[in-house]
Structure formats: C-alpha cells, structure tokens
C-alpha cells in the first residue's frame, strides 16, 4: 500500500475544506493549535542556560498528538499548513519536533486564502519551516513568561492576591490610566461662537460663522464680550467680500489590515476586538457555499500589509465596470503603502472572490458573519475605485469690523462612496470649517439681509476616553503589540484582570488598575515605558529578519529587569498591610487600617488574625448603579444595572414607581432545544454563583461552571465551560457525550 503525505492544519474547520482540494495522496488533520508550550505551574525558562525553554505537552493535547504520531508513522512526508505568521510557524516547528519526522521530509506550505487556487499553488512549491520566525515567537514567549511569572508574585505580596502584570498589557493599562488622569485634571474653559442667518437675492437662506474681528482671529471668552460684539454688528451692512469656488477630492481608504478591521467593526458594528477576530476566523477557515462546497471567503485576517494581489485587483475592476461603469475605475490600480514593519509577503484582508458579493452569499452566513463580510467586501472594492469629487464654495461676508464665513460642499461624483463610506474616528474632533449647508448664488459686493444673530456658548472638552477602536489605533501608531495581539491584550485587561471596565463602549480604568499602574511605574520604568515596549517589538521583528539573535535580545532585557525586580521587592509599598486610619478597633482596641481585598478596599483590625473585626468603607456598602443603552419598555426611562442579593440585574431607573426588571445576559444562547433564552449569571440563596436560562421558570437549564463564548473545537457546541483552581484554568465542553478538555493559561495583564 502506497504511503500518503500528512498535512497538519491548526483548526478542524479547515480539514474538510482543504482535504477536498487535495488528491488521495494527502491526509489532512488538525493540531488544535499548539501541541506543546511552557508549563503552567512553573517558570519553564532557565536564565542560567541561555534562557532555555522547557516545553511540555499539555494533558489535553496528548490524545491529539498521539493520533498525529500514528498518522505520521504511516506517511512518507509531513506538510505543515499552519497559519502564515510567527505563531503558525512555531506551531509547525513544535509539531515537527514531536512527530519526529526526518527534517528532509518536512515541508512548509502557506496560503493567504483557503480556496482551491491558493491551496493547490502552495503545494506545488512547498518550502521549509522558517527558523527565524520560530526564534522571534520563542523570544516573545520567553519575554512574556519572565515578566508575567516575576511580577505576579510581587503583586500578590504587595497589592492583592490573584493579580498579575505583563510586558505589553501593563503598558496598555498605563495608556488608559494616563488618559483618565488627564480627564480628571482637565479644567474646562468657556468660549463663545457667533453665527448670522442671512438671505441673498436668491434662496436658500444660509448661515455664516464669525472668523475675524478687526483682522485678527475671533476670540469671544464670555457672554458679555459676545453681546457687545453683537450690538456693534446688528446695525452694520452684511456685504459679500469674496466667493471662492473649487473642487475637493476624497480618496478611498486602503483595504483592511487587522487593526483597521477591528477599529471599523467596533465603530460600525459594535463588535469587540475579540468578536471581530472570532468571526473573521470563521470566514477565513471556510463557509459552506452550497453547491460550491466549503470555501474560505476572506483572506488571512492577521496582517499588517495593505498589499493586494494583481488578480484580486483585476477581479474587483471587472466587477466595478460591470455594475457601476468604467468611469468608476482609475486608469491604473491604486497602490497603498504599508507601515515600515509590515510583512509584505502577506496581503490585506479582502474577499477571496469578489464575485461572492454579500447578497450572493447572505443565505450561507450568520448575522454576524454577514455584517463583517459585507464590511470587508465593500471596503476592498471601494479601495479599487475612483475618488469622490465635491464642488466646494467658500463665501466671506463683511459686517463692520467682522468677517464671517460660510462653507458649502456638493457631491458631484460619487466615486468609491457608491459602495462604501468610512466611519469617523471615535475621538476625531469636528473640523474647524465643515460645510454648514447649501449656499445660494452670491456675487462679490452683494448686500445681504440679516435675519438674526445666534450666539452659542461652548466649553473646551477634556480628551475623550478610549474605546477599543481608538485604543487599538493608538497602540498601532505607537508600535506596541502586533496585529495578532490586540484582541488578547484588550481581553486580558478588561475581562480577565479587572484593571479596566467598559462603559457604553468607553474604557475606564478601575481603582485597582490605577493602583497597580502607580505601584509598577516607579520600579519598572522600562516595562511601563511606551517607547521601550515599541523598541522591543522592533527587536522581535529584527530577530525574524535574521538581524538579531534571540538569546542576546532576551538577555539585554532580563539583566536590568532582574535588578528592578529586586529593588521593588525591597521598597514597594505594601498595599495589603494598609494605612492606619486613626481609629481604634471597637473589639480589641488595636489600630484600624484601610486594607485592600479581593473585592476592593475595606477597614480591618491591625491585629488580624487574632482579631477579625472588619467593615466596609463609607459609601461602599452597595455598588453603584451602572448605566446602559436601554430604555424601559414600560415607562421609557433609562435602564440601569443594579447589584442585588442574587447578583446583577437590569432594572428601571424609575424604581420604585416602575418595577420593570430583566436579567443581565452573558451573550450566550441557551442550548436547550426550542428555547430562545440567554444564559445569565445568578446567585443561590447560599451565595453560590451559578448560570441559568433567562427564560426561567419556563426553562430550568443550569450550569455550575462559567460558560465562555468559545465554540467547542471537537463537536462544535456554541460554548465551553471554564473552571479556575490552584492557579490553573480548565475549559471543558458541556455537551453530553463530548469529552473535549484543555488547560487555558492564566493570562497576564
């Protein structure tokens, strides 16, 4: 019997799709991600032996690895077809090590899209595993482990049990904390603007805005100054000084890269970065398109390159000409420039086939998949189109010593806007001179009729809080992290460590997040420094390019870090011991201290554990209500999140007049057949947390372990359950008959 070649991919979703593109000489299997990693229960890195990592096979991966070893023993070649990035390269290297296949028979195949054309082309010209990429991934892994496993015990000792810190996440928290401090320190300044409603010889009426007074830029600091100027203007003649007509072109945005996709999906669809990447992964790995079978409908979604294959550009141009007309395509396809650190071997995120427009594939996609696919498809097609063209007009109007200005803009040619409109940045301030509406035909020297003056009071605004989208933009601009890391960074600091909480899409540091940042900043200036973190990312890129050696790079970081760590252990303030509040314990007479616990600060006796007296801080007896975006269906007042005896719930802010309530859901559908409820967190009468259906008592489904919205890679169930114990997190499938289980490393923040 002839031997076959073994092809290993990361995800089981890809297996069926790729298998159909290859002949019977290949058998495709999934590794389910990493087959081995650093151990969870120990450092796993030896600084004395050139930072040699100790890799172990996770218990949850033993069965998968055994199956791969059996398949490899029957094969005459191994094709590593993991994702085309550092992480995928490292997974492939670990696989080759564990499967013990002759190096000469190990081949590396990569494809930017999971289509028959791309997959077949990759197998025609296979390469070898790139050890420089493996070194870069290994350096990142070792650095993150050294920082996380060194700082976490320090924070446990000095601040609070259960805390941790990380090389990149701590800088992200610092950025959010610094912005919050800016907001807290901000002092608003009053200023006024003045607008005049005018009428010319022809309609319509229009509005002009004060720009200059006596040749200098207008500056109205208060109402008195504004009223005085209005008095001098009301009797003056309003005369057109000049009318300037022109043309403005607006170019399309480049196709998406990982960061811009996460930003736009956040602004337009309300997706978190994690949700964006989860849905994009589904689109990339393969969608069943009916008669065409399973196919990846987008290219690889972890990329920082805006490069586009010429074939894809040609396909887009053909679609545009056929549907919109030849005037919508430029003479030559546009070329966009990537950032300096971008991997140009990759492509931008685009549809794998432009002919699969959103309407054609809508019936095969879920609601979220369709929304994200439409965004990617429209952005790419628009990027290959002509600019939008606007006719502009600016009219300057004199009135005594004052100069007023009106701006108008009319769309003459839709260009790319016929397909796609980019959203405005979350924190982008409005332009100083935006068009204010239609302007009638005007002629220099024409006298206008004043219909009214409209003064407006303003106050300078503090810098806005970050949203996920604007934080990702800042991280990218500063060079912190890479496309594949943004979602995990945000997930860690928001969901896993409680250093930041999300409120109406904005990110606000918690008291704990601010405390940890303040404690780490003086002792670890490099770890908390934005520029140093960006330089480290550049060093990792240099390792991948063969310009640096990974052990030396880690050593240059670790030696000063070790000194900082020793200094912090000796000199960092012990938050857990607390500060005396100048009050004696009512039970034993010893001083009371303000201490920090798992759920925040509280007052306790300094004689603990001999005296166990404690009490809440004033004002912290009850958690504050949190606002939501919902309105009460009964009375129309805002709904808020309240904290009750049995956990969180949503209630009308009009209580007690209105007693409308609803549960806070986890965003996971109840798995019971026919049930339309969502899973919610509840608390039993004895205080134990459990998870039940929002449709109770009609549905009595219950779980005692927390569900997480991660599909089971074995059976496809919509969620896994998660249990943390003894410093480890175990994820299991809750579906009866499925034995999937794995360890998930406690993330560092």
| E strand or H helix at 631 | strand 626-631
Give the number of other CB atoms < 10 A from CB of residue 289.
Answer: 17
Contacts of 384 (CB under 8 A, 6+ apart): 252, 308, 313, 316, 317, 320, 329, 333, 334
- Greatest alpha-carbon span in the chain: 102
Closest CA to 503 of 628, 637, 620, 599: 628
**Buried (b) or exposed (e) across 466-494, using 16+ Cβ within 10 A?**
bbbbbbbbbbbeebbbbbbbbbbbbbbbb
Determine the Cα–Cα distance for residues 107 and 690; give it in Å rounded to an integer.
48
| Count of alpha carbons within 13 angstroms of residue 693, beta-carbon side | 17
Determine the Cα–Cα distance for residues 679 and 677; give it in Å rounded to an integer.
7
Determine the Cα–Cα distance for residues 171 and 749; give it in Å rounded to an integer.
9
Burial of 348 (0-12, 13-18, 19+ CB in 10 A): buried
Residue 321 φ then ψ, to 5°: -60, -45
Residue 314 φ then ψ, to 5°: -60, -40
| Count of alpha carbons within 13 angstroms of residue 29, beta-carbon side | 18
Return the SS3 of 531: helix
Tokens of 424: 């405005």
Q: Indicate the DSSP class of residue 625.
A: P
Q: Which residues pair with 364 in a beta bridge?
A: none
State the SS3 of 61-92: HHHHHHHHHHHHHCEEEEEECCCCCHHHHHHH
Handedness of CA 453, 429, 468, 557 (dihedral sign): negative
Closest CA to 270 of 504, 491, 571: 504
| E strand or H helix at 514 | helix 511-520
Cα 415-416-418 angle, rounded to 5 deg: 80
Burial of 96 (0-12, 13-18, 19+ CB in 10 A): buried
State the SS3 of 384-440: CCCCEEEEEEEEEEEECCEEEEEEEEEEEECHHHHCCCCCCCCCCCCCCCCCCCCCC
Determine the Cα–Cα distance for residues 746 and 169; give it in Å rounded to an integer.
14
Would you say 455 and 192 are in contact if contact means Cβ atoms under 8 Å apart? yes
Q: Provide long-range contacts, Cβ within 8 A and 24+ apart, for 496-502.
A: 496/746, 496/747, 496/749, 497/163, 497/164, 497/169, 497/747, 497/749, 499/173, 499/749, 500/173, 500/176, 502/468
Tokens of 299: 């290219």
Catalytic residue, from 284, 300, 373, 486: name it.
300
Residue 56's alpha-carbon distances to 45, 61, 145, 324, in angstroms, are: 12, 10, 15, 57
Let me know if 300 is a catalytic residue: yes
Give the number of other CB atoms < 10 A from CB of residue 739.
Answer: 10
Number of DSSP helices (H) and strands (E) in the chain, helices first: 17, 35
Determine the Cα–Cα distance for residues 494 and 694; give it in Å rounded to an integer.
25
Would you say 164 and 746 are in contact if contact means Cβ atoms under 8 Å apart? yes
Return the active site residues: 300
């Amino acid at each position: 019997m002839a031997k076959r070649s073994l092809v290993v991919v990361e995800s089981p979703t890809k297996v069926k799709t790729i298998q159909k593109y290859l002949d019977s000489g290949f058998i495709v299997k999934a590794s389910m991600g990493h087959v081995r990693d650093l151990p969870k229960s120990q450092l796993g890195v030896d600084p004395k032996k050139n930072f040699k990592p100790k890799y172990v096979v996770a218990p949850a991966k033993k069965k998968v690895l055994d199956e791969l070893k059996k398949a490899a023993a029957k094969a005459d070649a191994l094709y590593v077809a993991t994702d085309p990035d550092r992480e995928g390269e490292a997974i492939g290297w670990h696989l080759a090590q564990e499967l013990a296949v002759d190096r000469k028979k190990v081949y590396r195949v990569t494809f930017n899209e999971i289509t028959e054309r791309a997959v077949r082309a990759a197998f025609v010209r296979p390469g070898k595993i790139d050890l420089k990429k493996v070194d870069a991934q290994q350096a990142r892994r070792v650095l993150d482990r050294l920082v996380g496993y060194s700082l976490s015990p320090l924070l446990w000792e000095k601040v609070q049990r259960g805390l941790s810190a990380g090389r990149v996440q701590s800088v992200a928290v610092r950025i959010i904390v610094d912005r919050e401090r800016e907001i807290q320190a901000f002092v608003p300044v009053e200023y006024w603007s003045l607008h005049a409603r005018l009428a010319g010889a022809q309609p319509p009426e229009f509005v002009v805005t004060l720009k200059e007074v006596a040749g200098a830029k207008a500056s109205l600091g208060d109402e008195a100054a504004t009223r005085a100027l209005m008095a001098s203007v009301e009797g003056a003649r309003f005369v057109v000084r000049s009318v300037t007509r022109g043309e403005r072109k607006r170019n399309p945005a480049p196709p998406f890269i990982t960061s811009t996709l996460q930003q736009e999906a956040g602004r337009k669809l309300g997706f978190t970065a994690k949700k964006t990447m989860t849905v994009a992964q589904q689109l990339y790995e393969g969608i069943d398109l009916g008669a065409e079978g399973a196919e990846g409908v987008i290219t690889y979604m972890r990329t920082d390159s805006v490069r586009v294959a010429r074939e894809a550009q040609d396909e887009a141009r053909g679609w545009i000409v056929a549907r919109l007309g030849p005037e919508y395509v430029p003479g030559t396809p546009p070329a966009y420039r990537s950032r300096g650190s971008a991997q140009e071997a990759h492509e931008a995120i685009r549809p794998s086939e432009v002919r699969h427009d959103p309407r054609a594939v809508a019936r095969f996609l879920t609601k979220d998949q369709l929304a994200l696919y439409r965004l990617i498809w429209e952005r790419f097609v628009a990027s290959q189109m002509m600019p939008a063209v606007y006719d502009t007009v600016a009219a300057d109007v004199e009135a005594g010593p004052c100069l007023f200005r009106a701006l108008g803009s009319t769309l003459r040619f839709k260009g790319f806007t016929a397909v796609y409109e980019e959203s405005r940045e979350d924190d982008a301030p409005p332009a100083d001179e935006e068009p204010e509406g239609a302007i009638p035909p005007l002629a220099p020297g024409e006298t206008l009729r004043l219909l009214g003056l409209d003064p407006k009071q303003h106050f300078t605004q503090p810098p806005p809080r970050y949203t996920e989208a604007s934080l990702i933009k800042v991280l990218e601009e500063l060079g912190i992290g890479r496309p594949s890391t943004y979602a995990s960074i945000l997930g860690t600091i928001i969901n896993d460590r409680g250093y930041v909480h999300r409120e109406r899409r904005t990110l606000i540091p918690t008291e704990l997040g601010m405390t940890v940042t303040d404690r780490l900043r003086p002792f670890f200036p490099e770890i908390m420094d934005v520029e140093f973190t960006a330089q480290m990312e550049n060093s990792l890129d240099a390792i991948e390019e063969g310009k640096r050696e990974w052990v030396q790079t880690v050593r240059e970081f670790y030696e000063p870090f070790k000194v900082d760590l020793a200094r912090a252990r000796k000199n960092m303030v012990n938050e857990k011991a607390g500060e005396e509040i100048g009050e004696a314990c009512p039970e034993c007479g010893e001083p009371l201290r303000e201490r920090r616990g798992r759920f925040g600060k509280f007052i306790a006796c300094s004689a603990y554990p001999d005296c166990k007296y404690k009490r809440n801080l004033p004002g912290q007896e009850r958690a504050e209500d949190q606002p939501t975006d919902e309105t009460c269906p009964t009375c129309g007042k805002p709904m808020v999140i309240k904290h009750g005896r049995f956990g969180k719930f949503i209630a009308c802010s009009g209580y007690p007049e209105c007693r409308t309530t609803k549960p806070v859901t986890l965003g996971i559908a109840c798995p019971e057949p026919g049930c339309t409820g969502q899973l919610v967190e509840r608390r039993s009468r004895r205080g134990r947390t459990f998870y039940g259906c929002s449709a109770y008592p009609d549905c009595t489904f219950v779980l005692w372990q927390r569900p997480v919205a991660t599909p089971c890679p074995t059976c496809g169930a919509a969620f896994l359950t998660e249990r943390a114990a003894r410093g480890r997190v175990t994820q299991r499938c809750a579906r009866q008959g499925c034995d999937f289980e794995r360890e998930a490393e406690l993330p560092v923040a």
